[in-house]
Amino acid sequence: MTTPILFLDHAPALGGAERSLLLLLKHLDCARWQPHLACTGGPLAEAATALGVPVQVEPMPRLRRSRRFLRDWLVGARAIAHLARQTGAVLIHANTVRSALYGALAARLAGIPFVWHIRDFWLSESRPHWGWADTLGKRLLCAGAARVIANSQAVAAHLPCRRKVTVVYNGIEIERFDPAMNGAPFRARYGIPPDAPLVGTVGRLRSWKGQDRFLQAAAQVARAVSEAHFAVIGGSIFGVEDGYEAGLRALADELGLANRVTFTGHLDDVRPALAALDVMAHCSDAEPFGRVLIEAMAMQVPVVAFAAGAVPEIVADVETGLLVPPKDETALAEAVIALLADLNRRREMGQRGRERVAEQFTAEAVAQGVEMIYHRL
């Protein structure tokens, strides 16, 4: 007999958190657990349904700065509590901060444990203006949670309830990432010469992801490696229009890179892009995990990154890539130049990177780690 678990997620698009959730839903032991999902519809609901997971569309209105905060919170939490009773769920597992706010109260109303899965340093996407509010929110969610799952030690260190926290790293289905994939079609699609050294950065176009620093480093690489090309891979999947992309394009022009930088926009599948890269540069301020790091490593692409956030937990310096001081664009450029000049070193790092992913960052390992928490509860 399977045990029902009710998962919550509010996101309207498939971000990294949602893709990780889908892998968890897929790899849970189906002989032991029956996942149910409450979400706001859209691509996540469609993908979960395709996996055979029962889905219930539940509105989870934005609560921050809402004039109807209490009403929306209570109505939403009651609906989720009702769904938990209806499905016979033994616990509620919230995958995002907003859904956690609803889930904590819903679990209390339903009389079952609440698991909070936190994947960021803060309750907002970037460093909050009011630090005390972020700390207060974390204390309240920690108080309501029977267990907290963090996706890195770096994220766990930001929480005020360390004893409740278990670190379960994100994972991927490594068999889907074939290092032998041909990158030529990607290069041809974007007019990148087939033999040109190609350095890329992958991620949503947000300022904290550091694409502007990537371009600054790229300009230094371009002066040392005249044939090098660069790719900014990613877009704004949540519909944020803040002028950041336009600023990046203007910066590329200003740096004299206009004819050597490709902006791909959002790609549903980044594997063809990764297959085309010689080096991937990761330039985030402080990454809470960085799913693309393990995706690149699985494709045997060496990584150059700032040694900040969770990156040192994922990238083994000198073995699977090179780590440089945070925000040091010159050091980043020098590391890229060094790797572009040494094909054998790139190959060795790539092979070790894939081995590291296979050992530590698989979807099966994530499911096993989460199931251990369920068993304890």
The answer to whether residues 333 and 370 belong to one domain is: no
Backbone angles phi, psi at 257, to 5 degrees: -105, 5
The answer to whether residues 71 and 195 belong to one domain is: no
The answer to whether residues 98 and 127 belong to one domain is: yes
The answer to whether residues 266 and 203 belong to one domain is: yes
**Residue 47 and residue 215: Cα distance in Å, rounded?**
35
The answer to whether residues 310 and 346 belong to one domain is: yes
Q: From 290, 278, 253, 260, select the one nearest 199 (Cα to Cα).
A: 278
Each of the 377 residues of the chain gets a pLDDT tens digit; together they read 899 999 999 998 899 999 999 999 999 999 999 999 999 999 999 999 999 999 999 999 998 777 888 999 999 999 999 999 999 999 999 999 999 999 999 999 999 999 999 999 999 877 888 889 999 999 999 999 999 999 999 999 999 999 999 999 999 999 999 999 999 999 999 999 999 999 999 999 999 999 999 999 999 999 999 999 999 999 986 656 678 999 999 999 999 999 999 999 999 999 999 999 999 999 998 899 999 999 999 999 999 999 999 999 999 999 999 999 999 999 999 999 999 999 999 999 999 999 999 999 999 999 999 999 999 99
**Residue 147 and residue 128: Cα distance in Å, rounded?**
24
Range of the domain at 370: 3-171+362-376
The answer to whether residues 161 and 195 belong to one domain is: no
Q: Give the CATH number for residue 8.
A: 3.40.50.2000
The answer to whether residues 153 and 228 belong to one domain is: no
Looking at residue 1, its pLDDT comes to: 85
